[in-house]
Structure 1
């Protein structure tokens, strides 16, 4: 993997292992050379061996001497690497057939539901093209991006923002749990299926990217673990978190690609972004029901829009080894296989959720007041309408105080009173 490249525009040699690339007087140089090839002159960056009129192995290997810059993955480091054009990864015939079959299935599904759908739709003055755009009855447009091979996080973000600026909600489809597009934009993951099964209508389950909101009170009788206490403890607070269908209690039915085509276009399913709380991940993108998103926003008392500026994760940070430039041609090492394996990004584990603090016990009645956020969370956790909520006469925790099957004391207080 080459750590140096020649800039044909400026006539300079660039050392990719240095933080300033060897040119401290050019602060925008990194942004310029890492831009998508579609947005710059394809012959901007040249193999050093070719520039020095030495042997360039690309000329005998079916590639050109012109280069692009990517982030490698070697021994836990993320160095900048120069690789030969024309493309980062050439899709195999099977991948191309999978891509075509999935795109056609999305368009055909939309047609069966009476939705408008069009394939290969130009976006932003034809600088990018959506694989398929499905338009709902209220004019909501969803741009399906079938991405079955690697695409850089910056490209995913750039194309997603371009779609949003043109009134299209992006929906990226992956088949690999390590795909870098996961959690960079609204996404869904399907199984790696033969194209004939996709075209033939075999069930395509959304394995990742779609979640349901669950809210529960953290008491010993709860089937879920506490989000803040270690071990099997219970804190008495109300927790809310997002779960894939298989981990919901009770387990939810899986979402099929046909379901997502319809629901995303009608607004029944919507994208939501949940910022990370304390991990190296910037946040989680997911598709959820509109009702779940509204309830989540009410519980956390905020609305978090989809990011329109890149949010770096720990794994995105570039590593600069500050080495001498290797001027030999490394065309034979351009394959992605020379890098360390990419980590799993589609993790079924909860997101970290949100915890509504437990109310202090025995508050004076004059100051006792349930806030809208507390009321929304308790209503979801206890499974009753907000107007049936009240405070336990013993511990002043929120409970189902009014309506059918109501009581003056919560279960804990009743057990204590009965034990006397």
Structure 2
């Protein structure tokens, strides 16, 4: 909240949100310059999946985008609502204003051509071989090529309120009802929408059950445990949810070969967008590769005129 106030945003703690669907309370409500409202939910204690769905849906119905912040990689909000995971920091460091690095929940779009020279694996062949097509997938900042700078919760609070970071849902290839929730840069979101279509946040699924809650009554141990070599620790029985795994992404068909610029007319706008994103250029700089004839960066200042694999082969 202090970060939002320092940047001139309206922010309130434990703020009631009233609207269609009833009344809900956010741990911190931040309002951006254009009226965008982000409800930050600090989830440091266990919460059932139904509670996450219910509170997130009520917030969205009231015009508030929820942002769940957790320190546990087993927490229920992970991939059930827009979320961000941070390190488990002592309260003194948090009170002193130490920045909280986001370990999960924020990703960048990566687009590449699946060739032997690519540093990434094929999405369709189980990571074996190369199909020659264009792949697009979401990656954590440290796993991007080249690596992206880390993102802090303080940054996400500002960018989400200003619209520079958006919450998206990427369905699983095998089960469209499941998938990954994540925060992404607005430019990457626009590129993804051009290639994959709208990314709508799902509604509450009805078939998922809550995690089992158990309690075993034990006598309070009042003895001192200092310097004891054998100490029993309870482990969280819930499965790890933040695995950092790929989302599944998407694969575009093999691009047509062409020996002239006129042959690019058979390339769709989606394919143009994907190739331009993979090469880091504008769509109007595309043309036929002088080596393989497929669409490549052919025009513009310092254009290589061929795919890296074709340039390597000519050497």
Matched residue, 1:11: none
The corresponding residue for 2:198 is: 303
Q: How far, CA to CA, are the matches of 2:215 and 2:179 in structure 1?
A: 36
Q: Separation in 1 of the partners of 2:263 and 2:144?
A: 39
Deviation at 1:123, TM superposition (A): 2.7
Alignment of 1:289-328 (within 5 A): 289-300=185-196, 302-310=197-205, 312=207, 316=209
SS in 2 for 1:272: strand
Aligned with residue 17 of structure 2, among 118, 123, 126:
123
Extract unaligned runs of 5+ from structure 1.
Answer: 1-106, 320-329
TM-score by length of 2: 0.84
Alpha-carbon distance between aligned partners in 2 of 1:308 and 1:117, rounded to the nearest angstrom: 27
Match of 1:113 in 2: 7
Take 1:288 and 1:222, find their aligned partners in 2: how far apart are those partners?
A: 24
Residue in structure 1 matched with residue 66 of structure 2 by the alignment: 170
Q: 1:411 to 1:121 in 2, by over 3 A?
A: closer
Alignment of 1:228-307 (within 5 A): 228-278=124-174, 282-300=178-196, 302-307=197-202
Matched residue SS, 1:299: helix
- Output the CA distance in 2 between the equivalents of 1:414 and 1:246: 28
The verdict on how the C-alpha distance between 1:144 and 1:340 changes in structure 2, with shifts beyond 3 A counting, is closer
Determine helix, strand or coil for the equivalent of 2:103. Answer: coil
Asked if structure 2 preserves the Cα contact closer than 8 Å seen for 1:241 and 1:351, the reply is yes
Q: Structure 1 residues 156 and 394 mapped into 2: Cα distance closer, same or farther (>3 Å)?
A: same
Go from structure 1 to structure 2 and tell me whether the alpha carbon gap of 1:311 and 1:260 turns closer, same or farther (over 3 Å shift).
Answer: farther
Distance 1:410 1:156 in 2: 46
Q: Which residue of 2 aligns with 1:224?
A: 120
Change beyond 3 A, Cα 1:385–1:366: closer
Tell me, which stretches of 5 or more residues in structure 2 are unaligned? 219-232
Shift of residue 308, structure 1, vs aligned partner: 2.2
Secondary structure of 2:59's partner?
A: helix
**C-alpha distance after superposition, 1:362-385 (max 9, x if no partner):** 699779511010000000001111
Query: So what's the TM-score if we normalise by structure 1?
Result: 0.64
| Cα separation, partners in 2 of 1:361 and 1:331, compared to 1, 3 Å | closer
Q: How does 1:13-32 map to 2 (within 5 A)?
A: none
Cα deviation, 1:269-296, whole Å, max 9, x if unaligned, reads 1101101112698111001111110111
Q: Measure the CA separation in 2 of the matches of 1:137 and 1:362.
A: 48
Residue 120 of structure 1 aligns to a residue whose secondary structure is: strand
The alpha-carbon deviation at position 391 of structure 1 amounts to 2.6
Distance in 1 between the 2:94 and 2:52 partners? 24
